[in-house]
Amino acid sequence: MKGELYRVDEDVMNELRNYEGIGNPFTCYTEKVVKAKTEHGDVTARAFVVIPSIALPMKFTSKNIPEGDWRVFKQSKRRLPIPQPLVLSLLMFAIGALIWQVGYIPF
């Protein structure tokens, strides 16, 4: 798997956590410490990875970067994918509103 590593301070890391929804019960990601192989050897890094229990549903709601390379995608000037927590939160809101309108949970 190909990726990029960035050195960021804790303020930027907190912004990234917020963007990915870490700590939000409707997020699709969790933060993990991973080992990354680089040209200069292995390094420890933090990554946001899909929660295993929602990996399958996420395939139906997420947008992939076809090239698998963020830099190529960015240069193509196409729109960015919608953040997954937003998609899932909107879906959960719609389901909750439907249940509220019906007045009971239909199962």
Q: Could you report the per-residue pLDDT of 2-43, keeping only the tens digit for each? A: 778 899 999 999 999 999 889 888 788 899 999 999 989 999
Q: Could you report the per-residue pLDDT of 46-75, keeping only the tens digit for each? A: 998 888 887 777 666 666 676 677 788 778
Query: What are the residue ranges spanned by the domains of the chain?
Result: 10-102
Mean pLDDT over 68-90 rounds to 71
Count the alpha carbons within 13 Å of 56 in the hemisphere toward its beta carbon: 1
10-25 burial by CB neighbour count: b if 16+ within 10 A, else e?
eeeeeeebeebbbeee
Q: According to the model, what pLDDT value does residue 9 have?
A: 95
Q: Which residue has the tokens 């990354």?
A: 36
pTM: 0.55
Residue 100: band (very low, low, confident or very high) from pLDDT cuts 50, 70, 90: confident
Please give the distance of CA 94 from its chain centroid, rounded to a whole number: 20
Residue 83: band (very low, low, confident or very high) from pLDDT cuts 50, 70, 90: low
